[in-house]
Copies of this chain bind each other. A is one copy, B any other.
Amino acid sequence: MNAIADVQSSVDKRNMPINQVGIKNLRLPVGIVSAEGTQQTIADLTMTVALPEEQKGTHMSRFVELIQAQQCNIDFNGLRQLTEAMLQKLDATAGKISINFPFFRKKKAPVTGIASLLDYQVTLCGEIKGDDYLQSMQVIVPITSLCPCSKEISAYGAHNQRSHVTVTLSCHDQINIEDIIDIIEQQASCQLYALLKRPDEKYVTEYAYDNPKFVEDMVRDIATTLKNNEKVTTFTVESENFESIHNHSAYALIQYP
Which A residues are within 8 Å of any B CB, using their own CB?
Answer: 1, 4-8, 12, 14, 16-29, 39-42, 46, 48, 51, 56-58, 60-61, 64-65, 68, 102, 104, 114-119, 142, 144, 146, 148-150, 152-162, 190, 192-199, 201-202, 204-206, 208-209, 214-217, 219-221, 223-224, 240, 242-255
Contacts and interface: CB of A to CB of B under 8 A. Distances in A.
A1 B199 contact: yes
B159 A204 contact: yes
Nearest to A250: B60
Given A205-B157, A251-B23, A144 B244 contact: yes
Given A25-B248, A48-B251, A160-B160, 15 more contacts: A1-B199, A16-B220, A18-B219, A18-B253, A19-B255, A20-B253, A21-B216, A24-B240, A28-B104, A58-B216, A142-B247, A153-B205, A156-B209, A190-B245, A193-B246
Contact of A28 (B117, B196, B224): B117
Nearest to A146: B157
B206 A4 contact: no
Given A201-B245, A220-B14, A160 B159 contact: yes
B159 A157 contact: no
A157 B201 CA distance: 11
A77 to B, nearest CB: 23
